Structure 1
Amino acid sequence: MLVDSASLYFRAFFGVPDSMKAPDGTPVNAVRGFLDMVSTLVTQRRPDRLVACWDDDWRPAFRVEAIPSYKAHRVANPAKNIEETPPGLLPQVPVIVDVLAAFGIPRVGGAGLEADDVIGTLATRAADAGAGPVEVVTGDRDLFQLVDDAREVRVLYVGRGVRNLEVVDEKWLEAKYGVSGGDGYADLAVLRGDPSDGLPGVAGIGEKTAAAMLARYGSLDALMAAAEAGDPKLAPGATKKLLAAKDYVAAAPRVVQVVRDADLPVVDDTVPRTPVDHEAVVALADRWGIGSSITRLVTALSL
Structure 2
Amino acid sequence: MSGSGMPHRLMLLDTASLYFRAFYGVPDTIRRADGTPVNAVRGLLDMIARLTTDYQATHLVACWDDDWRPQWRVDLIPSYKSHRVAEIVAGGPDIEVVPEALEAQIPMIRRVLELAGIAVVGAAEHEADDVVGTYASQAGVPVDVVTGDRDLFQVVSDDRGVRVIYTARGMRNLEVVTDAVIVGKYRVLPEQYADYAILRGDTSDGLPGVTGIGEKTAASLLGEYGTLELLLEAAADSQSGLSAPVRAKLAAATDYLTVAPAVVNVVRDLGLPTLEEAGAQLHPIVGDSRADLESLATEWNLGGSVKRLLDALDRRH
- Tell me the TM-score range normalised by the shorter chain: over 0.9
- Give, in whole Å, the separation in 2 of the partners of 1:219 and 1:113: 25
| Structure 2 counterpart of 1:183, one-letter code | E
- Give, in whole Å, the separation in 1 of the partners of 2:310 and 2:100: 29
2:40 is the alignment partner of 1:27: no
Aligned to 1:67: 77
| Deviation sequence 1:130-167 (CA, Å, 0-9, x none) | xx211100001000000111111111111111232111
Q: CA deviation at 1:231?
A: 5.0
| Deviation sequence 1:71-115 (CA, Å, 0-9, x none) | 112111113511111111011011110110101001000111100
SS at match of 2:37: coil
- Give, in whole Å, the separation in 2 of the partners of 1:271 and 1:23: 31
Aligned to 1:271: 282
- Give, in whole Å, the separation in 2 of the partners of 1:150 and 1:104: 31
2:132 is the alignment partner of 1:123: no
- Give, in whole Å, the separation in 2 of the partners of 1:229 and 1:275: 65
2:99 is the alignment partner of 1:86: yes
- Give, in whole Å, the separation in 1 of the partners of 2:106 and 2:239: 52
2:176 is the alignment partner of 1:167: yes
Q: Relative to 1, partners in 2 of residues 1:68 and 1:234: Cα closer, same or farther, differing over 3 Å?
A: same
Aligned to 2:296: 284
- Give, in whole Å, the separation in 2 of the partners of 1:87 and 1:97: 17
| Deviation sequence 1:200-236 (CA, Å, 0-9, x none) | 0101111111001100111111111111113553222
SS at match of 2:59: coil
- Give, in whole Å, the separation in 2 of the partners of 1:299 and 1:197: 37
> Aligned residues: percent identity?
54
- Give, in whole Å, the separation in 2 of the partners of 1:195 and 1:231: 34
Aligned to 2:46: 36
Aligned to 1:114: 127
2:45 is the alignment partner of 1:55: no
2:111 is the alignment partner of 1:98: yes
Runs of 4+ with deviation above 4 angstroms? none
* 8 Å contact kept, 1:27–1:88: yes
- Give, in whole Å, the separation in 2 of the partners of 1:190 and 1:66: 13
SS at match of 2:101: coil
SS at match of 2:105: helix
| Deviation sequence 1:238-279 (CA, Å, 0-9, x none) | 111111101101100111011111112231211122257112
2:127 is the alignment partner of 1:154: no
Name the Cα RMSD after superposition. 1.3
| Deviation sequence 1:182-216 (CA, Å, 0-9, x none) | 22111101111111111101011111110011001
- Give, in whole Å, the separation in 1 of the partners of 2:62 and 2:89: 28
2:314 is the alignment partner of 1:302: yes
* 8 Å contact kept, 1:63–1:254: yes
Aligned to 1:144: 153
- Give, in whole Å, the separation in 2 of the partners of 1:275 and 1:209: 56
- Give, in whole Å, the separation in 1 of the partners of 2:47 and 2:200: 30
| Structure 2 counterpart of 1:255, one-letter code | V
User: Structure 2 unaligned runs (5+)?
Assistant: 1-10
* 8 Å contact kept, 1:41–1:162: no
2:305 is the alignment partner of 1:293: yes
- Give, in whole Å, the separation in 1 of the partners of 2:304 and 2:84: 34
